[in-house]
Structure 1
């Protein structure tokens, strides 16, 4: 990467804050021995102290560098404002992360900027409730895959810079993923492939510059290793394609039709099973799986921007193809939700097999009554 590469500075900051948030979340897992309790949000999805604290850390540090930028995160501070005990636990975690950062950085100018008070922490978290995706917006999911994070399995710490709805920079930490960055491709990613002693890996990309993977250490990052751009699935036959899926019965997507697509191309189903949506993109990027389908039952089904922004860029930068069912690119410019009226479903595949998978999807959907 040359010194004049656009967004080089943004990538450096993204790597730094995602690394710090990854270490923070992993410290929660280790202190609670991989058994993390959760609160329940208004939409019945789980959230932990790690989600809140990581979002506070990321936004605070980036806002100090880019005060004019906007932020979009999964969490808001509403629950913390109603629960003083929960807010105090999150605040203690943020303070612990700040103490760790101070210990690691001799130069005060190199330290991350943390909230100065508990009330400021709540306000910082709420900076992520931005609903507009115009201009420069940092989109984050502080813990993608909270359910499997709670059990000590795979999860991701996700950050992506959108500029007018276009992915430009991403860094995604995988604190529990045990992968050798010098030979990461085609490893069989699964929930139990856990880095017990270390801090996993971080994948990153700048649009047009490719995707790299690094080891995460307690006090920094290893050297970047570029993932080669692929033009095919490496000679794998259609019948041997690995279709990545969520745990069976755990999604409102049409898994029966996912299975029917696999049968249409003669492949087994399910292949790889991963809960975290962003970890699905990580598995695709590393070549551990070949196809990801998101077939909703109707256009009322929506998904959230933070579940896809960044992960898609990682995969596309190694040659991956992603379109909606109608053949359109995924549009991140319409706010917090990716609506079915704008992008109906998704098909993501390794290069060389998209057309055959797309034909199978069309055949299966044509059978709907």
Structure 2
């Protein structure tokens, strides 16, 4: 096993080069995924009863290859690798958390709310993250530490360019309005969603899939995303990085910042919040 060059990793994190590099990787994975969308893609069922497609596996293989080329030897914890080979028993101080296609159920149904998630973890917390929505060609990312969060629309690969879309623009959570607006998972009932929204000071709520919920709060369109059911750490790490960079918070059930590298890489209850 290669010894990771953590000095270079930390240097690129500090300069912002790392976040830009993983944004390009996520967008390349998004372009790979799209030909599988809204076609008759074969769907398999994993041991945990969740679906997986060739798009998930192809995107993960691409992401892992690109990250290993850029930062050799850094540990990776990726959803499909864990499903196939089991979760690692321990994590290094620096490691990647990767969900190559978050929201596979919606993807299979032909919905738009699916994402590519890549996050860099250090000492138990996300320090850089990118979320890309292939269906809308949108990417959200953190910047260098204390550098804020950004969003861009990216174009199709043209004339050898890595991204032929708009420039990055800064995003920020909004101040909580008098009647806040919550985002909830489609897995909860309407009654439970209304109760959770009210519990976190939101008069109204809307359902959506995947890590998009973190990003929509980060850009100031919504105010809270409470979650009581279990999620995997690769579902939330990149979104948490983006939201925290935009001025928001993700708190575990004990009221502390949500940490990572937990047993089984499973999250308990949490709430993601804006201003």
The two structures have a TM-score, normalised by structure 2, of: 0.83
Q: Distance in 1 between matches of 2:173 and 2:105?
A: 32
SS in 2 for 1:308: helix
Deviation at 1:65, TM superposition (A): 2.4
User: Where does the alignment leave 5 or more consecutive residues of structure 1 unmatched?
Assistant: 80-125, 178-199, 297-301, 352-369
The question of whether the paired residues in 1 share the 8 Å contact of 2:180 and 2:202 is answered with yes
Deviation at 1:134, TM superposition (A): 2.1
Deviation at 1:171, TM superposition (A): 1.5
Q: Could you say which residue in structure 2 is the equivalent of 1:354?
A: none
Structure 1 residues 133-186: Cα deviation after superposition (integer angstroms, max 9, x where no partner): 322211110000001111222100010111222212211111113xxxxxxxxx
Q: Could you say which residue in structure 2 is the equivalent of 1:14?
A: 22
Q: Could you say which residue in structure 1 is the equivalent of 2:217?
A: 284
1:147 lines up with 2:117 in the alignment: no
Q: Which of 171, 187, 195 is equivalent to 1:260?
A: 195
Q: 1:23 to 1:261 in 2, by over 3 A?
A: closer
Q: What pairs up with 1:306-317 in 2 under 5 angstroms?
A: 306-317=234-245
The question of whether the paired residues in 2 share the 8 Å contact of 1:171 and 1:204 is answered with yes
Instruction: Please tell me the root mean square deviation across aligned C-alpha atoms, in Å.
Output: 2.7
Q: Distance in 1 between matches of 2:83 and 2:183?
A: 34
Alignment: residue pair count = 258
Q: Could you say which residue in structure 1 is the equivalent of 2:78?
A: 73
The question of whether the paired residues in 2 share the 8 Å contact of 1:160 and 1:167 is answered with yes
Q: 1:131 to 1:27 in 2, by over 3 A?
A: farther
Q: Could you say which residue in structure 2 is the equivalent of 1:203?
A: 140
Q: What pairs up with 1:25-36 in 2 under 5 angstroms?
A: 25-29=33-37, 32=39, 35-36=40-41
The two structures have a TM-score, normalised by structure 1, of: 0.63
Structure 1 residues 73-107: Cα deviation after superposition (integer angstroms, max 9, x where no partner): 1103876xxxxxxxxxxxxxxxxxxxxxxxxxxxx
Q: Which of 61, 64, 80 is equivalent to 2:66?
A: 61
The question of whether the paired residues in 1 share the 8 Å contact of 2:173 and 2:219 is answered with no
Q: Distance in 2 between matches of 1:77 and 1:350?
A: 31
Give 1 or 2: higher strand fraction. 2
- Could you say which structure has the larger radius of gyration? 1
Q: 1:65 to 1:152 in 2, by over 3 A?
A: same
The question of whether the paired residues in 1 share the 8 Å contact of 2:151 and 2:169 is answered with yes
